[in-house]
Amino acid sequence: MFPTLSAPSPAGTEIRSAGWTQGMQRSVLRQMLAVVSRPGILSFAGGLPAPDLFPTADYSAALAHVLSTDRGALQYGPPFLPLKRHIVDLMAQRGVDCSVDQVFLTTGAQQALDILTRFLLDSAGQVMLEEIVYTGIRQVVASHQPDVLPVRTDLETGIEVDDVITHLERGALPAYLYVIPDAHNPLGVSLSEEKRARLAEIAGAYGLPIIEDDPYGFLSYDGRCLPPLRALNDSHVFYVGSFSKIMAPALRLGWLIAPEALMPKLTVIKEAGDLESSALTQRAVAAYLDGGHLPAHLERLQKEYRLRRDTMLAAMARYFPPGITWTHPRAGMFIWVTLPEHVDAAALLETAVEREKVAFIPGHAFAHPGVKATNYMRLNFSNCCLADIEEGIERLGRVLELVTA
């Protein structure tokens, strides 16, 4: 029968999308970033590494070398073993003992989160997330429409382990708990040593998978970061690493450390997503690491970012009125500011942009729905020069005077 003979109703000709997409929204964070990225605005809103610190020349040389010498550089191919070996070495610097067979390469850390979520989370299953959490993990779980079990976070010691245990003792069977061990985005807090030990133990005792997202563990400013959870538990902790912050985001290259027995299934999920990560990028990053450039580069990053952090913290102490507190990050890129309860940070942002041309991200952009997080700001210190940090914090101080006076 030819289709025109049985014309369906007009409504039937609309694109029917999957049910979960009906209520989906652009992340508040991304919407805000678009608003505050206008020229002329001094912005602490983004989460960008400093482009002037990218290893551009050395990476360009690595690309040229690989393209002129390696016939597989532009072809399809299996994960590049020499890069996995380098990652094993990087993990050792973080105190993690693993083998190349436990290294799984991904198209950035975000893809690692997505692959693990597809592997672990049933449709309408449970996940355990902090009340204030990286927006990317909320985007990842959204299509699975899970029951999100919220966990609070202490601003000095990290995630409230007792909340985790309470959920589990009540019979919760979450697909996983998501944790950032060092320099939490957006909170800037690192997990205390005691909490790392307790979480690693809980993971084994309850069979609770933990996704440990560690983009900032190599960007430490007060001595080395503590070893991540994966150093304490190799059966239930899925470690996620990334070259975005230690080299450059446009590599879109990350990795995860997972039990070897799970690799075949993770591979099938990865292939469904994008077949494989770029053979060229894998080889070029390996060539860059072969060249031994990374240690000096990391030292430079740490030195520069430490200066920016210290400059911002000192300026905040100088220019912010009383009644405001903030985290003192030992690593990473973010400071979390707690304003007096009555201050609405979203309204404050409007004033800040209009009056002083300075921007930040209101904390509610990172909040679990229903969690009150109106009186917080996230400040980024990695992507401004020292003079702009000084100037921007002074401006922000003037805006804060208006609402705290």
Q: Which of residues 78-117 bind a copy of itself (CB under 8 A)?
A: 107-108, 110-111, 114
Which of 84, 86, 94, 118 lies at the binding interface for a copy of itself (CB under 8 A)?
Answer: 118
CA distance 50 to 384: 7
Q: Which residues in the 330-359 window bind a copy of itself by CB under 8 A?
A: none
Q: Which is nearer to a copy of itself, 72 or 95 (CB)?
A: 72
**Shortest CB 100 distance to a copy of itself, Å:** 18
Which of 264, 292, 322, 369 lies at the binding interface for a copy of itself (CB under 8 A)?
Answer: 264
Residue 369 binds a copy of itself, judged by CB under 8 A: no
Residue bearing tokens 């239930």: 236
Q: Identify the CA nearest to 79 among candidates 289, 244, 263.
A: 263
CA distance 183 to 212: 12
Tell me, by CB under 8 A, how many residues bind a copy of itself: 95
Q: Which residues in the 124-153 window bind a copy of itself by CB under 8 A?
A: 125, 136, 139-140, 142-143
Which of 223, 275, 292, 295 lies at the binding interface for a copy of itself (CB under 8 A)?
Answer: 275
Q: Which amino acid is at 25?
A: Q
Q: Which residues in the 28-47 window bind a copy of itself by CB under 8 A?
A: 30
Residue 173 binds a copy of itself, judged by CB under 8 A: yes
What is the CB neighbour count within 10 angstroms for residue 192?
16
Selected range binding a copy of itself among 59-67, 147-155, 298-306, 330-338, rule: CB under 8 A: 59-67
Which of 189, 225, 248, 359 lies at the binding interface for a copy of itself (CB under 8 A)?
Answer: 248
| Long-range contacts of 325-329, Cβ-Cβ distance < 8 Å, separation of 24 or more | 326/379, 327/155, 327/187, 327/188, 327/189, 328/188, 329/183, 329/188, 329/189, 329/190, 329/221
Q: Is 269 helix (H, G, I), strand (E, B) or coil?
A: helix
Q: Which residues in the 208-247 window bind a copy of itself by CB under 8 A?
A: 209, 235-236
- The neighbouring-strand residues paired with 147 are 126
